[in-house]
Amino acid sequence: MSLQQVADEYAGSPCDGEWITCLEEYHRYFGPEGDRAEIPYIRPADVGDRIISIAADASIALMADWGTGNNPAFELLRAITDFDPQVLIHLGDIYYSGTPHECRENFLAPVEKMYRKGTDKAVYTLSGNHDMYSGGLGFYELVQSLNPEPKDQGASFFCLRSTDENWQLLALDTGKHDYSPYGVGDALVTIDDDELDWHVKRMEEFQGKTILLSHHQLFSAYSEVGPKLATGKRKATNPHLLRAFNELSAKGEISAWFWGHEHSLSIYQPFEGVQRGRCIGHGAIPVSIKDEIYKPRHDLDHIPELMKNTELGTNGSVWNHGFTLLSFAADTCKAAYYELNNSVPREVFTEEF
């Protein structure tokens, strides 16, 4: 392996000294005490009952934790482009801090050059914690101009709905309240009440199947997600997001929930009422093979279990990167999960629901 390849693998990893810019941008925007400014969140009242239509037979690529601007990210986008999906959705995190410059250079520029290539394909992105470290300035600038009307996203949350009314994708903003780089490991993220009401209304008016999208995970076997209990154990589930799921699922069928945040692929068995909880945060951040990403935490009250034989492989000194493709046909969705092995996509798992 060449020196450049090693550098590409570890740019953006915890070994990369540029992570300090997260703290610098945070204090530049929020002040020395972290309380000087507010994120320019767009409220549901300003969005109204807006739905973005997608084709009944749409193919959608999902990737998460991708916006590094480095070669692993470019390789992943090239692989996605070869499948020619009609829609591209990023589940959040443009590094290091979602500044306007980073959003342009690490996200928009490669998407335009490598994926859109002069076409009008739709691209959407969610709010992650890294997108908020600079106050969301770059993120909100990006989403306001990412697509022309009527495909424009407009806000940090949105609804994509198939023209045959069989499917909708609800994108939740879980990044708004995770804007401090000092609390990454234990941030109990939540969704604002008026935004949750907006999503509930989308469920009430819709008779088809729903897929949820977010940056943060509802539950995890491998990270701090839930609160500590009096027993000394820790919940594997975020109670705020579980409340949101319960309110939404009471109004209609939720077929799957895709999230990122953890830099790995975790295809879970049913847990907490969620039939398909899917972590797909292995977009471009390198994770050393020395990190035991599939070793469950020892302090959980209940441990979510993976589907058998769905773990990532390794390539060189890091775990493989990857993405997910959704293909819709009438009332069926096929989800195919890919990893890149020496830049070649390999299907890890596929399912229909």
Gap between the Cα atoms of 125 and 123, Å rounded: 7
Distance separating alpha carbons of residues 85 and 55, to the nearest angstrom: 12
CB 77 within 8 Å of CB 111 = yes
| SS3 assignment, position 70 | coil
pLDDT score for 19? 77
Contact 176, 127 (CB under 8 A): yes
Q: Is the pLDDT of residue 7 over 60?
A: no
> What pLDDT was estimated at residue 243?
97
**pLDDT of 133 higher than 70:** yes
Is residue 198 scored above 90 in pLDDT? yes
pLDDT, mean of residues 292-320: 95
Calculate mean pLDDT across residues 301-316. Answer: 95
Degrees, nearest 5: CA angle 318-70-213: 80
Which of the 8 DSSP states describes residue 181?
G
Give the pLDDT of residue 33: 80
Kindly compute the dihedral angle of the four CA atoms of residues 222, 233, 245, 98, in this order, to the nearest 10 degrees: -50
Beta bridge partners of 325: 61, 336
Band (pLDDT 50/70/90 cuts) for residue 37 is confident
The span from the CA of 185 to the CA of 182, in Å, is 8
pLDDT for 75-103, tens place per residue? 999 999 999 999 999 999 999 999 999 99
CA dist., res. 182 & res. 312, Å (int): 29
pLDDT digits (tens, 9 = 90+) for 61-73: 999 999 999 999 9
pLDDT band at 1 (very low <50, low <70, confident <90, very high): very low
In the 8-state DSSP scheme, what is residue 288?
A: B
Mean of per-residue pLDDT scores for the chain? 93
Q: Which of 81-85, 213-217, 224-228, 325-329 has the lowest mean pLDDT?
A: 224-228
CB atoms within 10 A of CB 165: 11
**What does the pLDDT read at residue 18?**
78
DSSP code at position 347: E
Q: How far is CA 117 from CA 78, 89, 131, in A?
A: 12, 16, 25
Per-residue pLDDT tens for 112-132?
A: 999 999 999 999 999 999 999
Of residues 115, 155, 8, the one with CA closest to residue 70: 8
User: How many whole angstroms separate alpha carbon 44 and alpha carbon 50?
Assistant: 10
**pTM, rounded to two decimals:** 0.94
Q: What are the φ and ψ backbone dihedral angles of 337, each rounded to 5 degrees?
A: -105, 125
Q: Which two tokens stand for residue 59?
A: 């193919």
- Domains of the chain, with CATH numbers? 3-352 (3.60.21.10)
- Binning pLDDT at 50, 70 and 90, where does residue 344 land? very high
The token pair at 259 is 């999230």
pLDDT attached to residue 15: 53
- Give burial (CB, 10 Å; 0-12/13-18/19+) of 11: buried
Determine the pLDDT at residue 185. Answer: 62
**Which amino acid type is present at position 297?**
R
Residue 156 has pLDDT above 90, yes or no: yes
How large a percentage of the chain has pLDDT more than 90?
86
